[in-house]
Structure 1
Amino acid sequence: MNPFALYQDPILNEELSISGYRIGMNMVPDEMVISDPILLRHILCLIIVAHNFFHLYLCCRQLRLCRKSKGPPYQLRGIMSDEVFTASKDKQLHSSYLEIFNLIIDSVYSCLDLYLSTLAYFWELTVDWYRYAEETWLNVTFMAILSSYLVIRMLPSLCYEKLVLDGKFNVDPEKSPPLVGLICALAFVVVFLQIAIIPLTAVFMVVQQLSVWLFIMVGWLVLVGISLLLLAFVGVFGVPCLGKSRRIEGADINIHLQNVLDTFKFPGRLYLVHTFNVGRPTAWVMGCCCCLRLDIHDNLKLNRGLDTDNLDEGHVGAGLNEEQLAAFVAHQLAHWRLYHVIKTLILVYLSLLIYLIIFGLCYKWETLYSAAGFTTLYPSTVGSWLVYKYVMPIYQDISTWVVFFFIRHFENAADAYVVKVGYGELMANALLKLLADDDDFPYVDHGYLMWHRLRPSILQRLVNLKRLTRIDGVSTISFL
């Protein structure tokens, strides 16, 4: 019987062993140069701590705004009750405290992983178990251990949320899964990750054999191609996982909606999406050229377009009337007319290309692996985690600010276009109605919003629409 573990090849008669210099827990660098792994380890820890505490500062700003808010904004006085506002405030406090805890615990874990050489220890376990295995199998095993460890790291956050925050902020236990259920779900996630890791690791092992620039171009082109195929798919079939789509045409289109479609000369198809679960009310234009469709979620319509007898009590009266719905659709068509989807894709593709260039230049940097406690023998797949976690946070903050800035600008430009075609007041009424229907906390700190929210807050958009409707026309530059 074969005495070696699964997928090992003893015929090779070449036992794999880890040898070479390890920095261990040394704290004093030999030289004050970036090529010194001990100094680099300190720098990497400083990067992750600075990144996390910057976002912790933003979360504290939002938390402070939430705690000092005593009532709903003046736009919602008489619409949002004190009970609903208090519930939304508790929900925001719960979210903010949990986010702050996650940032702190992530800083602790990330620094300990470097100083204790946790990832290097997982690699030593892998090599001890499979001394005669091929490189691909060693990397698969290592990634299985690493992914399981990353999932287990979520346990303190779950315990803090369920044992501390849920009771403090009056979370309804019937609307929130129990701690035991979430732990079982994490166990399922661990199993699912093991299934996904095998093919992904094999693909990465093949791609990483390419030269750096070829690796960058192949990775970028593959991701761009997948996103374009996905865009074409949703343009034809929509998003089936959200709900069942029914095409609207002819007499089913009310006069207000028809006027909007005629105003924008929209050439695509119109669908009503019967959502499986009541999510955020929305509508969007998807696809391009001949594969263009406008999807309107049924929860955007007043009472979901149903009789009140068929609705839960909490959903009665929610949604927009026909005029408000038409104005909301006009906003979405303004995005299409101003090519905002294309501009957003270009921004994302450029950001992704820069990310891959930085990644390609760093993932073969030997000092990076030495700083994590590895010797000259290390798993090639661990480089993706080290670069993502410790090298990229500063770039991620910059690129996130840039992309989010332009997306928020696109929202304001679409609102300006809606005002130009005469739907400004109705659009403001639609936003106010959606804000009143929503149970989210209405206030958002501006600094927090710049890095954590794709779109301006509804209150900001209401103020902007009010300003636009008072002026004589809209500047052309706002549409660029």
Structure 2
Amino acid sequence: MDPDSIFWAIFVFMWLVYLWETYLSYRQRELYRTVTKIPENISSIMDQETYEKARLYNLDKSTFGFYVGVWGEIEHSLILIYGGIPFLWRVSGEVMQKYGFDSTYEISQSVVFLIMAVTFSTITSMPFTVYSTFVIEERHGFNKQTPGFFVKDQIKKFFVSLAIGMPIVALLIYIIQIGGDYFFIYVWVFLLVVSLLMITIYADYIAPLFDKFAPLPEGELRTKIEELAKSIDFPLTKLYVVEGSKRSSHSNAYFYGFFKNKRIVLFDTLLADYSPVNADKKEGESSKLETKVGDSGEATKVEENTKGHKKTGCNNEEILAVLSHELGHWKLGHILKNLVISQVNSFLCFAAFGLLIDQQVLYSAFGFDTRPTIIGLIIIFQYVFSPYNEILSFCVTVLSRMFEFQADAFAKSLQHSSNLKTALIKLNKDNLGFPVNDWLYSTWHFSHPPLLERLRALEKTE
């Protein structure tokens, strides 16, 4: 194929994907807009008032998402049509020349190019980030950030991401350049090491740059979590609480670490009235804890807001049920399976990249007379592989849903079925998760099954 044919084939496919995604979002948005009365099969787990709040919240997010999508697609199209990528590469070269470096310093120019690209992307997306945080999330009671905290947080994220990403990109390009015909093997090993290293150090060294971490106080909840970990041979070494409430009332829980050194991290908004004395809180007492459940039904927790939406939160047994689900992913090998899948995919993609990297026609299609390595990575991985990426993404979504059902069943096997069901219902109410989902939108997007599907599966296993 000639360069023009390649460019327009990629361009048309990009728009087909956008139109497909927009159509799916339209189907779901129509449910937010038209299903104003709570369906009979949902009335037993949600009242009409909460249902209406959830409907309006998700309608706001969906409508906003539509405009963000339109802007993003138009911006992307203009960048491609008017040669934004080669223009930025030329500018980065001019910056290098200004400081006495010529085109032989490709890695340095690539770093400058990426810094400019990230800066441009951050600036153009910032108005949408601000609107989402201080209008939509604020309107529905989820935002906890002050403008000053938001600005400092965004600046910190920007520079930390560059400090981590730029050395990785520079080393990646260097390996590709010196690796010879089998560079993809060395690249794969390098990226595997980087991914394992990031998993290891993120919570210990990177996350604390943004939030405070403290040991979970001694008490009933800590004792029960330790007993749960011991019962399934989970090698728990540390149990932390992270202060995420300054940023958002949304929250989460996760575990990390390798081999016999595992840690569990709970967001403070996950714990009812978190304080050192909260460990002695009697089970069943009322709580200000809430939890956010996204469109997919994935549980994340939030603290009671001041907008009038009454939150119920989860008691200790329900928190244990949610953790049983999360630890089920570890016990059933889902973490390892996902790692293997991602690494096999990485190896195959870089092997294919090795066959395409010297094809000048691909670079010419995007306005380049030379073959810079970083440009080859962008063209091939983002554009040439885009049909494969769409298929892979859907397959991973299907696999993830299967894993979620299996983790629920694992929690049930630990006698947490009833508590997991009540926790999921509470989390959905507290976070204004809309319980009515279009089947096609759900199938394509939801890596976690919707609430009703999870409840039915738990009842079936009983």
TM bucket, shorter chain:
0.7 to 0.9
In structure 1, the residue corresponding to 2:373 is in which secondary structure?
coil
Residues in 2 aligned to 1:134 and 1:348: alpha-carbon distance in whole angstroms? 37
Deviates more, 1:447-456 or 1:192-201: 192-201
SS at match of 2:449: coil
Distance 1:258 1:194, change over 3 A: closer
Residue type at the aligned position of 2:60? H
What letter matches 1:406 in structure 2? L
1:226 paired to 2:194: yes
Task: Output the CA distance in 1 between the equivalents of 2:83 and 2:130.
Answer: 31
User: In structure 1, what is the Cα distance between the partners aligned to 2:182 and 2:172?
Assistant: 13
Cα offset, 1:413, TM superposition: 0.8
The structure with the largest alpha-carbon Rg is 1
Indicate whether 1:245 and 2:245 are aligned: no
Taking structure 1 as reference, are residues 272 and 364 closer, same or farther at Cα in structure 2, changes over 3 Å only? same
- TM-score of the superposed pair, with normalisation by structure 1: 0.73
Residue of 226, 245, 270 corresponding to 1:300? 270
Whole-angstrom distance in 2 between the partners of 1:141 and 1:229? 26
Mark the CA change 1:168 to 1:176 in structure 2 (over 3 Å): closer, same or farther.
same
CA separation of 1:401/1:247 partners in 2, compared to 1, >3 Å: closer, same or farther? same
Deviation of residue 78 (structure 1)? 7.4
Give, as a single letter, the amino acid of the residue that structure 2 aligns with 1:246.
P
Percentage identity across paired residues of the two chains: 21
**CA RMSD after TM alignment:** 4.4
Aligned length: 433
Deviates more, 1:165-174 or 1:427-436: 165-174
The separation in 1 between residues aligned to 2:222 and 2:113, in whole angstroms, is 57
Alignment partner, residue 18 of structure 1: none
User: 1:215 offset after TM fit, Å?
Assistant: 2.6
In structure 1, distance between residues paired with 2:415 and 2:133: 46
Which residue is equivalent to 1:51? 17
Is this contact kept in 2: 1:344–1:407, CA < 8 A?
A: no
Tell me which residue corresponds to 2:418: 425
Unaligned runs of 5+ in 1: 1-33, 470-480
Deviation sequence 1:113-143 (CA, Å, 0-9, x none) = 3433333334445556639733254664466
Work out whether 1:326 is the aligned partner of 2:320: yes
CA–CA separation in structure 1 for the residues paired with 2:12 and 2:456: 40
Change (3 A) 1:146 1:257: closer
**Residue 183 (structure 2) pairs with residue 215 (structure 1):** yes
Residue correspondence of structure 1 range 307-322 to structure 2 within 5 A: 314=305, 318-322=312-316
Q: CA deviation at 1:406?
A: 1.6
Select which of 91, 108, 111 maps to 2:74.
Answer: 108
Q: Distance in 1 between matches of 2:139 and 2:103?
A: 48
Matched, 1:40 2:9: no
Q: CA deviation at 1:45?
A: 1.1
- Cα separation, 2, equivalents of 1:181 and 1:234: 21
Structure 1 residue 366, shift from structure 2 partner = 0.7
Q: Residue 245 of structure 1: SS of its match in structure 2?
A: strand
Deviations along 1:312-368, whole A, 9 cap, x unmatched?
863986432233233223223322221221112112222222332333333332111
77-86 vs 309-318, which moves further = 309-318
Over residues 183-242 of structure 1, what are the superposed CA-to-partner deviations in whole Å (9 max), with x where a residue is unaligned?
999899888887778645643442231346533222221221123234445798996455
SS in 2 for 1:209: helix
Find out whether 1:342 has 2:336 as its counterpart: yes
How many Å separate the matches in 1 of 2:431 and 2:136? 22
* Aligned mate of 1:276, from 244, 253, 257: 244
Q: Which shifted more, 258-267 or 93-102?
A: 258-267
> C-alpha separation between the residues in 1 aligned to 2:235 and 2:148?
51
Task: Write the distance in 2 (CA, Å) between the matches of 1:212 and 1:53.
Answer: 41
2:365 maps to 1:371: yes
Residue 441 of structure 2 corresponds to residue 448 of structure 1: yes
Aligned 8 A contact 1:41 1:372 in 2: yes
Where structure 2 has 5 or more consecutive residues not aligned to the other structure, the ranges are 290-302
Question: How far apart in 2 are the matches of 1:192 and 1:265?
Answer: 36
Whether contact under 8 Å (1:348, 1:403) holds in the other structure is: no
Answer yes or no: is the 8 Å Cα contact 1:244–1:273 preserved in 2. yes
How big is the shift at 1:391? 1.3
